[in-house]
Every structure is written in C-alpha cells, then in structure tokens.
Structure 1
Amino acid sequence: MNRQPIATQFIPALFAAGLTLFLGASVMGLRLRSEGVTLGVELAGADTFIKLGLAALVVFLFQLFRDRLPRFRKDTTSRFEMPAFMRSDKQQRLWLMLVVAGLLIFPFTTGRSNIDLATLVLIYVMLAIGLNIVVGLAGLLDLGYVGFYAVGAYSYGLLYTYFGFSFWEALPIAGLMGAFTGWLLGYPVLRLRGDYLAIVTLGFGEIIRLLLNNWTELTGGPNGIGGIPKPSLFGLTFERRGDNTFHEFFGIAYDPVHRVIFLYLLALLLVLLSIYIIRRLIRMPIGRAWEALREDEIACRSLGMSPTNIKLSAFTIGSTFAGFAGAFFAARQSFISPESFAFIESAIILAIVVLGGMGSQLGVVLAAIAMVLLPELAREFNEYRMLLFGLMMVLMMIWRPQGLLPMKRPHRELKTTGTEAQ
C-alpha cells in the first residue's frame, strides 16, 4: 500500500480538527438561559472548551497519521466467520436453547426497571426484524417505517375505544392493518429506487403522523388515546381488584411485578416467533427472490421474476411485524399519541439494521440491545445523545461498514482432491 507523505495530509487534518472544534463549540459550548420572557446565550465553562480542544487534537492526529495505522490497512470487508464453538448446526441450536432459557429466567432474577428496559429492547428487535426484510433482504431503503408502527398501535387503540376489542382480538387485526398499509405503499414506489424511494417513504411516515395528529374526531389528535387495557392471560387480568384476577386464581399475594413479567414474556414470545418466521422465509423461494432483487433488479427480471410482486411482498410482510409491535406497544404503554411515532424512531430502527448487518438476524438483535441500553447506561450524556449517535454511526462505517454480524448465506464447498490441487 502506498503511503502518502504527512505534509499532504496536514491541510485535510487541520480542516477536520477545525470543523470538529466549530461543531463541538456550537453544540456544547453555547447554552441558553432564560431572561424573563426572553432567552439569552452564555458560554460554557472552561473545562468544556478544554475537552473540545483535546477532541480536536485527537481528530487532527488521527487524520494526519491514519494511513500509518495498521487497522486501516486491513480488509474490512472480509467475511465474518462464526466462532469454532458455533459453526455446526447442532452447536448453534444448543446455544440458541441456552440463550432462550436464560431469557426466560431473566425476569425472575432482576428488578422491575430492568424488566421494563428488556421489554423495550424486545419491541425494537421486533421492529428491526420487520425493517430488515425491506432494507436488509430486499434492498429497499425505507425511511417511513414508523408509519406502520403507528398504524398497528392506533388499530388496537381505536378498536378498543369504539368497539371494546381486547388485546388478543386486536393483535391479528393490527398485523393485517400494517400489512394492508404496506401493500398500499408498495404500489406508488414500484418504479422508484434509492434516494427517490427514501423520500417517498419518508413522506409516507410524516403523512401518517400528521393524519393522526389532525384527525381529532377519530384519533383524539394531540391528546392521543388513553386507558388502553393490558393483555390478559387466558382471561385473567393482573389488576389488584376484579372478577378474574391472576393473583386470586392462583392464590398468591398481589404483586404489580407479575404484570411486568407477563409483558416481558409476551414480547419475548412475539420476537421468537418473528425470528422463526423470518428464518423460514429466507430459505423459501420468496427469500431468495428478495436477495435477487437486492443484488440486481435487471438480472432478477431477466430470470422471469416479477420485481413488482417481490417489492410488494417485502413491504407487506415487513409492515406486518411493525403492526404487531405497534399493538404490543399500545398495550404496554396504555397510552399512545402521534408524538410517539416521530421520524427519529424510523432513524433509530434503520440504524439498528445497518449497525447489526444488512439481513443478519443475530446482528439486528445485538444492535437493538446496544442502541437501547447504551443511552440508559450513560444518562449523564443524555444531552448529547444524538451527537454520540452520529459519532457511533461514523465509526461503524469506518471500521466495519458491513455491520456487527454480516449476513452469512448458507453454502456448501466441495473439497478438492490432491491431484486437482496440483
């Protein structure tokens, strides 16, 4: 590899450091203070500018000597290899059973806040699994996926408000409504690709949010829908008082943690079912068709496949999982409003898919855990959450652009004989 002289890297490194200092000072160096009915601007403390200066120095040195760092001379697009203890199908099934057993035991060994956080992680896993079909497998950039999420949530909220549907009655309808909305979106975008597709789907997500916000007579507008009931267990509720309560049926003392554990186990069941369905679809002709569309649409058409039907199936099936996740979210929160389905949610779900690895189920799960847990573990940096979020995305694109765990296609290799090798 030819190394460039340091002198030629000095100006770009200085520019990068100056840009870092300017953006950091704009975000972290200025603070707003209230002066009566107006707002004033004040500078941050000296320690903040010292940290910004050190960050700019690190960026300068990194850009100056990056060609001499051994890490950046390696091939970052090499294929991911599974560890030795997980390479055979039998070993993978064994580890999967151990992980599922651990997840089932987890809520009985920790506190309520950790169970709530784990339930939130599972919701994002379900959403990312659905978006992974559209983006990771079919290669269709969707920036409005949160719209299907909102359709599922409001399906349950409206069905309960106007018709008294329970969670179990509304769950399949929410999935069907998500699928129907994805099918409707599929038609206008059949001829679009790349950035144009992203713009249309982004507009779709905003149209759904504005529609929910302005259709006050039906959706409640900005006030949202409240009092949505939690799911029951074979007719048993988890309330303190009632006709068929869980604790009275089993003769145990009332504990609000029981409801939290049940919601976690229900979310885990939905996630495991979603992963199983996706794994089966990937091995079916429709899964191969998604991958063919992602690799080359023209070649896909030349093989006699219909890109129209493939795109419609990807949008429809992917949005179905968002509908299920939305219904569960409404049941968990007992309250929904249009503000819960802003564009940032679509960005987070898309980031989970990209960070985990396009088309990789295990990578999506790990990325969802990281994206949800890291902000909770570093709450003192909550003010700079989006700044850190962008920094993490940039670093991932530099070090591992294919994601944490890239998708590994099933394949077989023929062993070469000694005479062939010669």
Structure 2
Amino acid sequence: MTAPSVGAKPPNLFAIPDYRRGWLLGLLTGIARWLEFLALGVFAYEITRSPPLVALLAIVRVAPYALLGYTVGALTDRIDRKRWQLIGLAAMCAISGVMASLAAIGQATYGAVVVATLATGIFWITDMPFRRRIMLDAVGIERSGRAMGFDNITNYATRGLGPLVGGLVYQYFDAVGVFALNFAVYAICFLLALGFSPQPVPERAKRSGSAPDVSQAETPAPPSLLANGRFCVILAITVIYNLFCVPFIGMLPVFAKKDFALEAAAVGTLASFEGVGGLIGAIVLGIVIRPRGFLALYYTGPMIYLIAILLLSYALTPANTVAALIALSVGGACFSATQYALIYSAAAPELRGRAFGFLSICIGMAMLGHWNAGWLFKTFPSDQALRIMALEGLLPMLAIGVLSVWRGYFGRAG
C-alpha cells in the first residue's frame, strides 16, 4: 500500500458520494452510541447501585462481537452490504421507539434495557464490515489511512458530544428522552443510507447460490491469515486494549458518582473530556499518518492509555480524571485511527470479511474486560481497582512490544 500524498485534501475524499454518506452515518450513529452508553450507565447505577450490574450492560453490548463477530464478518463477503445496513438501521429505529414508549409509561426496567443493549451490540458489529467497508471500497486502499483518519476524527468528536448530550438529556428528560432522541437519529440515518451505491453480491457468491451459507461462513479462515505473525500481533494488541482499556469508560459513571458524588449532567461533562484529547489526537494523526507507522501507532495507543490509568490511580480526583481522560484518549486515537486500515491492508480482498470477523472476536473480549472491571470495583476501592486493571494490561503489552521489535513488525507498511 502506498502512502497517501501529503497534498491530498479532504474535499478529494468528501467529493466521493459513498464516503461522504458513510462519514455522515458515522457521525450520527456515533452520537447515538455514546449518548446511550453514558446515559444508560447512569440509569443502571441509579436503580441498582451495583457496579457489577453497570458492567453487565457493557458486557451485553460487546458480547455479540465475541459470539457473532466472525460469522458476520465472513458473511459480508457474500451479501449486499447496503441492504443489510438498511435493515440494521430500521431495526434500531424500531427498538428505540419501543424503548421510548416503555420509558414513557414507566416500564423501562433494567431487564428491558439489557435487551435493548444487546440489540445495540448486534447492530454495532456491522459498523466495520458494512459502513467502513463501503467507505474504503469507494476511496481505495491507497487513501485508507487518510480516509479512516477523518472518520476517526468524527468518532472522537461524537465521543465528546455524545456523553455531554446524553447526560443533559437524561437529567432533564430521563430515559424516555434518550430513547426518543436515538429513534430520531436512526430514522435520519436510514434515509441517508438509502443513497449508498448498490453493493452487489460478489460473483463467487452468486455462483454458489443467492443465499449466504452460514455454515460455510463459519469454516476456519485460510492459513494465510493466522499464519501471518504480524496479523496475530494486531489481534493480540486488540485483545489487550479491549480487556483493560475499554472497561475504564464503562466504570467512569461508577467512580464519578461513588467517589466524586457527581450528578448525571456532571458525569456527562466529565466523560466528554475523553473526546477532547481524542479529537486533537485524531486531527494530528489524520494529517501525518503514514502506512509504515500504522502498527507502531496501534501499539503505542494502548500503552498511553494504560499508563494514564495507572497514574490516575495514585491521585483519583475530578481534576486528575479530566487530565487522564484527555491523555488516554490520545492513546485511543492512535489505536482506532489505524485499526481498520491495518486489517484492510493485511488481508486479500476475498479474505477481508473473515479478517474483520477475527477482529470482531477480539473486540468481543471487552466482555471479559467489563466483567473483570466490575469485579475489581466491587472488591477494591476505586483507586486500587484502577491500578490493578492498568498493570494487568501493561505487562502483556510489554511482552508484545519485545516480540514485535525482535521480529521487525513495526517498520512494515503491509
């Protein structure tokens, strides 16, 4: 893969209709995702006062990645991605509408929220193999770094805006406001996705029949994927990030209310600082990112994240939490800006769906990470729980770093 030209400008990408629509879709669904993530975490803690039950929502949200990720990834090589993107958005509209109605009549119980969260998790499996795949297919692999860089900027903007909006909406309109707003957002997204170019089923899928065969999709990936040591390192870093970095945000409402006694709007404001550092980092990366540095950045991201959590654990205050959120979100930007492009370039076109399937399974390891975080915060004071979680991640990351330097993985572009 060749490096993007330094002179390439955003209009060259945004002039491509499918990229532009995919970017707007990511903006809107990202806002819906993060406002729901924060608001429902606050909701769960208020009605249960149980950190493990708050963590359970996060576990339920990522469980589909581990359980269905590979199958969905493999099927995307054999189905019309536009059609299934529309089906997913229509389903989210329906679920948000039902939950808004239940909330309005006082029946939005914790159990109902768990069911809605599971549906949300299933929908989010499709973001990479559907929306981002359509975007990258439209712009070409030579501009993948720049294209995903701008998408990453948007992701971090929504990570800042979503919790802020979610906290305010929840404080003034409760859960009914959150679900009603999500219904409106997903309805707009459905109309937007109607404009995607047709995504025809590949010829080889047509020859084998019009309906995808799930049993074939679940067959093991060809050796060329898992025999690639660099590909396995990418997966290992992904596992560590999702086990020990991602759960921090899921526990933020817990220690913000338990240790800082913050209200919902204040928790949302605090969480929004994660988007600030991430947005700054994503903007810089979108300008300077080059394919040869993808894996080094991918590794550096979780290291920054874990070190920030470790330092915070020694002085857990609201001000230090803001500083840690800004710092760790820069690490998160390094990680997420390169993830999709790394996988896209590591696999042949006919194997990309399966490669993303393996990536989804690794993302699904956050299910165990959230369980671990919930147990730590129930068993130990918040500062000790953060310290243990950070050390659990730093030790294997150091081992991966030594292996990658020894094998010379960091300097490669492909």
Name the TM-score class by shorter chain: 0.3 to 0.5
What is the TM-score normalised by the length of structure 1? Answer: 0.32
What is the TM-score normalised by the length of structure 2? Answer: 0.32
User: Whose helix fraction is larger, Structure 1's or Structure 2's?
Assistant: 2
- Higher relative CO (Cα under 8 Å, sequence separation at least 6) belongs to 2
Which of the pair has more CA radius of gyration?
Answer: 1
